[in-house]
Structure 1
Amino acid sequence: MTGAVVEILTSGVALGVHVPGLLLADRIREQGGTAYVSVLERLMPPQTLETTARSKQAFHRDFRVALAGQKLARNAAVSVDPAAVDQLFADWQRRGITRFVVLSGFWLTLLEQYVAKHGPVAVDVCHVDSVRSPSFDKAGATSLPLRHVWLADADGGGVPCSIPVTRDAPVPWAERDRRLLVHGGGWGMGTYRERAGELLSVGFELDVIAYEQGDLSTSGVRYFMIDPDWHPWLDDGYPPFGPAGQGFVQRTGHHGSFDLCRQALASVSKPGGGTLLDSLWSATPLVLLEPFGAHERRNADLWISLGYGISFEDWQRKDFAVEVLEELHTALLAADVPDYSKELL
């Protein structure tokens, strides 16, 4: 195995960025490589983290607030503690990092400082979304020489490479639960709760991911939860997850919600980058809800163009036919995508 030492830079404000970073680290380690994960928020003072946690709650409760907040967000790197940054730079030097993989654009400002102090190092920008996500736009221009890696490419119209969520084969269609997985991404945002009611009314059984106790309101639904007291900057693991009211388990290897996705007929969600990743590796179609910003709109358009997903409205016009979902599943099964973790090693 090569002597590559990979540092993966994520952000805790989006599980659709952070979880792919954890997955990439696990896939590298499984092959005998060395990988570390740094979370931007670990460099921030407690009061900043408290504000982030409050924003998460507000964005979950009202999607309009989330959409407005996205437009007002600033470069999070301005909030870091300089002493914490110095300690992290010293850790990177000690580890002998040979390549950085950046999943959040807010890291680029700090990487410029590191390179100015310690000299050049290889940097990949790994795009989980199919176009530049807001963190890269808000970070601004950089003088760093970057290699751009796309896990989905709206402009190229395909999936150039990916990060396996698991090495296990997708669950065969005939062996799947006759259920839909309904969720709002890592922060529980979007119109999924309203759509869950419509899907119940036409006879589907649902697994719904709840984000706080107040979400547990509809009878006839199996609810699951991410531990609401957990945040990505608290530990190095996946989000603790489990059936509502039955406690949380911190799974290893991949995130717990993926096990539900593998068994479902479809995942009903806004089109975040992490949701695309789950869809690809489970061969579970996406029923696409209102996007969180222009980048997610492009994600949706790409998934539909590839035959991997369908908008909620179009599926509704087709009378919510399960046969439509099976066609999308078959297209996903045929996807043959290079493994980014293997390329890194």
Structure 2
Amino acid sequence: MNSSSVILLASGNSLGAYIPAMHLHTYLQSIGVETDIYVLESLYDEKVRSKIRSTKKAFHADFAVALMGHKLAKPVDNSLDEEEVQRLLNAWKQADVTRFAVFTGFWLPILERYKTDSNKQLDIRLIRLDAWDTPSFKVHKQLYPVYKNVWFYELQKMSPGSYIASDEAKPLPFWQRAGRILIHGGGWGIGTYAMTISELRMLGHRLDVIVYDPSEVEEDDGTTRYFGTEVSWDPWSRDKHGRHSFPPMIQYIREDGLLREYPLKDYSAYTELMRNCWAIISKPGGATLNDSLSLGIPFVMLEPFGDHELHNSTYWESCGLGIRFTEWKNQRFSEHLLEETCTRLLEQRSKINHFGRITYAAENSSYV
């Protein structure tokens, strides 16, 4: 590790603060920038960490419960294992770490401590993949203004500034795609996405459904495909090589009541699945906005989860890059409308660069 290395600070509590970090990690390494990822939950007390799965299950089961939990968000300082935090700070100091990309505001109190202890000039960028404060930044509103806040979606500009992906591969033209529609509920499988599945199946749409739990997989109908994350995987654990990884994805097929699992080769196979779809249907999370832009996928947006997603939805619709599900339904689920939206996405995408290229491939950078 050296002073030109970049430390990516993510969270496993939400894949929206993990997957983009993994994409940036993969991209920067491909252009020769040394990186490492740290996931906040690895610093939690084990008792706290063990409760995350039960919380996710409760939020998945009842969207109203999830919305209430969102409103009650608070700093995570009391959940941290102080010995682990001190060990991490010492390791950063010993390795002379000076550059950080931060994907969740819950890291800010730890960074404040590092700034106090370090005698180096630090380059700390807060990656803002939503059009409004997420809970993790909102609870630290007194801290984040002094940092370099990198807003990808600035309300006053009405056009996204950049995107994050594992590579710089161009999106496919609309009519070269497989014509399928991807439906998911984000990393926690929350929202109203499940209600859309039967409706679209009845209309003959070919669907790729990302399930939260394998029990949600229905009998194979020949057109609907089901995928999900390996149940035993969690973002805060490192693999046998000591590295964080993309979630291992599985395709599920249920025939005559028997559920079979077919692991995808790697996460790029899932990315290719997204690249080939006509639209994504999901709640308007920041990471899904990034998927929409980086892969040129029209975003059909469901009920938002919190104020930040409400702003995301309004912003994406105002930019002409997505449409609310209710409006798409009113337009009789028009494929032509999706094509028009895709055209605008591809045009917008052609005007901007990968965040990693415009930031870390450049020799000059700003500091705090």
Answer yes or no: same fold by TM over 0.5.
yes
Q: Which residue of 2 is the match for residue 207 of structure 1?
A: 208
Q: Does 1:97 align with 2:97?
A: yes
Change (3 A) 1:76 1:3: closer
Q: Does 1:287 align with 2:300?
A: yes
2: distance between equivalents of 1:131 and 1:328? 23
Q: Does 1:242 align with 2:250?
A: yes
Change (3 A) 1:272 1:144: closer
Q: What code does the residue aligned with 2:246 have?
A: Y
My pick for the range that moved more, 35-44 or 196-205, is: 196-205
Q: What code does the residue aligned with 1:9 have?
A: L
Change (3 A) 1:78 1:158: farther
SS in 2 for 1:124: strand
Does the aligned pair in 2 maintain the 1:112–1:143 contact within 8 Å?
Answer: no
Q: Which runs of 4+ in 1 moved over 4 A?
A: none
Quote the offset at 1:163 in angstroms. 1.4
Q: Does 1:228 align with 2:243?
A: no
Q: What code does the residue aligned with 1:321 have?
A: S
2: distance between equivalents of 1:288 and 1:128? 16
Q: What code does the residue aligned with 2:160 have?
A: V
Q: TM-score, normalised by structure 1?
A: 0.94
Aligned counterparts, 1:80-229, within 5 A: 80-119=80-119, 120-142=121-143, 145-217=146-218, 219-220=220-221, 221-229=224-232
* Identity over aligned pairs, percent: 34
My pick for the range that moved more, 18-27 or 113-122, is: 113-122
Q: What code does the residue aligned with 1:216 have?
A: V
Does the aligned pair in 1 maintain the 2:180–2:205 contact within 8 Å?
Answer: yes
2: distance between equivalents of 1:248 and 1:69? 33
* Aligned Cα root-mean-square deviation (Å): 1.8
2: distance between equivalents of 1:69 and 1:106? 16
Does the aligned pair in 1 maintain the 2:301–2:324 contact within 8 Å?
Answer: yes
Q: TM-score, normalised by structure 2?
A: 0.88
Quote the offset at 1:4 in angstroms. 1.7
Unaligned runs of 5+ in 1: none
1:344 aligns with one of 352, 360, 365: 360
Does the aligned pair in 1 maintain the 2:137–2:144 contact within 8 Å?
Answer: no
Q: What code does the residue aligned with 2:296 have?
A: A
1:304 aligns with one of 312, 317, 322: 317
2: distance between equivalents of 1:107 and 1:320? 41
Does the aligned pair in 1 maintain the 2:264–2:270 contact within 8 Å?
Answer: no
My pick for the range that moved more, 88-97 or 203-212, is: 88-97
2:277 aligns with one of 264, 272, 276: 264
2: distance between equivalents of 1:158 and 1:226? 32
Q: What code does the residue aligned with 1:237 have?
A: S
SS in 2 for 1:93: helix
Q: Does 1:11 align with 2:19?
A: no
Q: What code does the residue aligned with 2:328 have?
A: W
Does the aligned pair in 2 maintain the 1:165–1:278 contact within 8 Å?
Answer: no
Q: Which residue of 2 is the match for residue 274 of structure 1?
A: 287
Q: What code does the residue aligned with 2:76 have?
A: A
What is the CA deviation profile of residues 229-271 of structure 1, one whole-angstrom value per residue up to 9, with x for unaligned ones?
A: 211101200011020232434736x5x5322211111011111
Does the aligned pair in 2 maintain the 1:165–1:281 contact within 8 Å?
Answer: no
Q: What code does the residue aligned with 2:233 have?
A: W
1: distance between equivalents of 2:22 and 2:265? 13
Does the aligned pair in 2 maintain the 1:150–1:161 contact within 8 Å?
Answer: no
Does the aligned pair in 1 maintain the 2:183–2:282 contact within 8 Å?
Answer: yes
Q: What code does the residue aligned with 2:140 have?
A: A
Does the aligned pair in 2 maintain the 1:190–1:292 contact within 8 Å?
Answer: yes
Quote the offset at 1:144 in angstroms. 7.7
Change (3 A) 1:92 1:324: same
2: distance between equivalents of 1:250 and 1:42? 27
Report how many residues are paired.
Answer: 342
2: distance between equivalents of 1:310 and 1:218? 30
1: distance between equivalents of 2:83 and 2:134? 28
Q: What code does the residue aligned with 1:240 have?
A: P
